[in-house]
Structure 1
């Protein structure tokens, strides 16, 4: 069931199945009535619902929050609220079908797309980039180094302004790679020497998905993930195409629109739109056999620190490795006025999803107290991505 907590000045959600109808039952957890009742009737859950409602009403909304928030335990939604508008012009209220630009949370799909191809023997994580782009001038970089941000490549968000002359035209992945081949912007560091978060890595991974699969990035994501998992309101958006129903608009902190720029033509690091309910389906699929256990073990393995530490990065996932051996697998996102959080408390299958379409750093600051409410108070998150 989806719970709307009385007393909040929020948009209304209809009561329905906790994570919606699934297109393929092979990739779902046990959603029996017994499981739902056990979760929802637990005194701990009832206390958490009260605390989540209080936090949402008295803290998150006071930051100017405009978006969706969902918290689930074992796939059962215990809290779900929507607040604000999809678009400053239409004033359409945000609801369960409102799709948000995921920003860097899109990297979780790109990363897992690469691992999906790896599972089927279509690529190897130790392949160098010259296998896919023979003229690429940066040597010694593997697919794995792109996934864990150890490539040392320059970030296209910083060098493109000086190299892409007509900024009225969207920069594409192909043009980005061509620009790097031609101009060779300097590396940040030598490959595999240390961690450096870089959007270029996942743009190149998006292009590798296209080369290996023979499909457009958006078609690959739709056929591989979105349709099999019943994620009916999730899609990759090409900014040259027509906007979709309930596709939210990006807003600045003062609710003025935040327009697309030429950088919105690049995909892999951003560009996927989704809803809170669909993101829960993605979360649940990762528990329910969509990937092999050994693949997930690789994805959730820390790579970014040469020495053990609490904060780390896996293959397309940020990690918090707590001293008690519990693990938090998550990713944040920020692009234009969109701020997103996708936080998975692995040990007890708890999920926190916050999607916003008005610039609001309070979204990131909410995660630690929300984790504490759910019984996980350790560790700090990175901020904007």
Structure 2
């Protein structure tokens, strides 16, 4: 065995110290990924729930049941619907086909495409990484994704839809020189197109709100770069597994195409795949209402984020136009001048529609998912006034 000379020991110790400190600072290079994956910002389940009484359940169930029967007469929802208080389910329904060809029905364990409600989960993973100091809220995107072309765009702007970017569905659909629709589009492809093609911006970076799926496709790439994992695995390790979301996953075309719950048009015709179905972050999470309830409880648990960051999440980021509707960091909101606040996110992709509502003050969660095209899914906001002072003005025929 060869022994190291004593004269070299100090230099060796110094070298070890330098190497061990690498990667501990905030990410400033697109090539940097953490060496220790155990430092992911994993979600923590809510502690013991405050029990609600049967008289309280009885007092609200009649009104929920009335809404359900009026909104989806004769159990016509073709989906899943849940209302919970303090994490305790007080009303739920499951009906319709998961797969008409296989004659399988939707149950509590049937995961369906939650469409843009996926954005809430993507944002949550990014927020946990910010909370850990892995990235900064106002960090420029091109310090993480090296080829990202819009120099002034920040992580905050992606989260709040203020990047000014165009939707990838539009700039890949209308120009064959940008993309051949015979090929499946991926998140990496979108970044490459932004970097090499002159697709332009809808508006100058950071000047106005413009809801755009491209923002969340880029956030998914940021999650991958920072964690060193695929988006699918990062979401599993950070959110799904810690919270026991056993029926939730990110769609993988190679593995899941033949097994997923398909979606349908309003007339019952099945909707097939297209070239956009491999893009994730903005969509492509499959889940159940019970799993999303677990997620909501963890997201509203004490210590979910540091107070200053949590305040940013639920603060409207788009104030250039006066009005009650706004968008925070991965969450839609209605802020009435009288002081009430309503937080939610809806989704639509192919025939899948989804609605996630979190009434934080009342600790009420309302979730509806459907795999058959209908706008009635979004009507579940009508339930909010049952639980608190939410001054919606609903028309009887809405």
Q: Same fold (TM over 0.5)?
A: yes
Partner of 1:315: 329
1:325 aligned partner: 339
Whether 1:227 aligns to 2:241 is yes
Correspondence for 1:124: 136
CA contact (8 A) 1:327 1:346 kept: no
- Quick check: 1:30 aligned with 2:48? yes
Report the CA distance between 1:65 and its aligned residue. Answer: 1.8
Instruction: Look up the match of 2:299.
Output: 286
Q: d(CA) in 1 for partners of 2:161 and 2:286?
A: 23
Greater Cα shift, 204-213 or 131-140: 131-140
Match of 2:162 in 1: 150
The question of whether the paired residues in 1 share the 8 Å contact of 2:82 and 2:92 is answered with yes
Tell me the matched-pair count: 350
What is the aligned counterpart of 1:170 among 159, 166, 184? Answer: 184
Correspondence for 1:135 among 136, 141, 147: 147
**Offset of 1:203 from its aligned partner?**
0.4
User: With structure 1 as the length reference, what TM-score do the two structures score?
Assistant: 0.86
| 1:361 matched residue in structure 2 | 375
Structure 1 residue runs of 5 or longer lacking an equivalent are 1-23
Distance in 2 (alpha carbons) for counterparts of 1:372 and 1:26: 30
Change (3 A) 1:118 1:376: same
Are the equivalent residues in 2 in contact too, given 1:320–1:379 (CA < 8 A)? no
- How much does 1:107 deviate? 0.3
* 1:318 Cα offset (Å): 0.3
Give the alignment of 1:247-266 within 5 angstroms.
247-266=260-279
Cα distance in 2 for residues equivalent to 1:376 and 1:244: 45
Q: Which stretch has the larger CA shift, 159-168 or 95-104?
A: 159-168
Aligned to 1:209: 223
Once the 2 structures are TM-superposed, how far is the Cα of residue 165 of structure 1 from its aligned partner?
A: 4.2
- Pair 1:241-2:259 in alignment: no
Which deviates the most, 300-309 or 218-227? 300-309
Kept after mapping to 1: 8 A contact 2:362/2:387: no
User: CA 1:286–1:293 in 2, change beyond 3 Å: closer, same or farther?
Assistant: farther
RMSD: 2.1
Q: Measured at CA, do residues 186 and 166 of structure 1 come closer, stay the same or move farther in structure 2, by a change above 3 Å?
A: closer
Q: In the alignment, what sits opposite 1:9?
A: none
CA shift for structure 1 position 380? 7.6
CA distance in 1, matches of 2:253, 2:389: 38
Instruction: Give the Å deviation of 1:378.
Output: 2.1
Measured in 2, the distance between the counterparts of 1:155 and 1:225 equals 27
Distance in 2, Cα, partners of 1:135 & 1:368:
41
1:137–1:184 Cα contact (<8 Å) kept = no
Pick from 55, 62, 83: which aligns with 2:95? Answer: 83
CA drift at 1:202: 0.5
| Residue in structure 2 matching 1:109, options 121, 134, 143 | 121
Q: Does 1:271 align with 2:284?
A: yes
Residue matched to 2:78: 66
Please say which of residues 314-323 and 127-136 is displaced more in the overlay: 127-136
Q: Can you list the C-alpha shifts for 1:43-85, whole angstroms capped at 9, x where unaligned?
A: xx31320111122123223694210000011111110001101
Which position in structure 2 is the counterpart of 1:13?
A: none
Paired with 2:112 and 2:393, the residues of 1 have a C-alpha distance of: 25
What is the CA–CA distance in structure 2 between the aligned matches of 1:309 and 1:74, rounded to whole Å? Answer: 31
**TM-score with structure 2 setting the length:** 0.83
Match of 2:112 in 1: 100
Q: 1:219 to 1:186 in 2, by over 3 A?
A: same
Q: What are the Cα deviations for residues 230-274 of structure 1, in whole angstroms up to 9, with x where unaligned?
A: 1111110112323586x4211111111111211011111001011
Unaligned 5+ segments in structure 2 are: 1-41
Are the aligned partners of 1:40 and 1:78 in contact in 2 as well (CA < 8 Å)? no
Distance in 1 between residues matched to 2:224 and 2:44, nearest whole Å: 27
Secondary structure at 1:61's aligned position in 2?
A: coil
1:210-230 deviation line (CA, Å, top 9, x unaligned): 011100001000000000011
Superposition deviation, residue 182 in structure 1:
1.5
* Residue-by-residue CA offset, 1:283-321 (whole Å, 9 max, x unaligned): 100121333333321111111123553211000100111
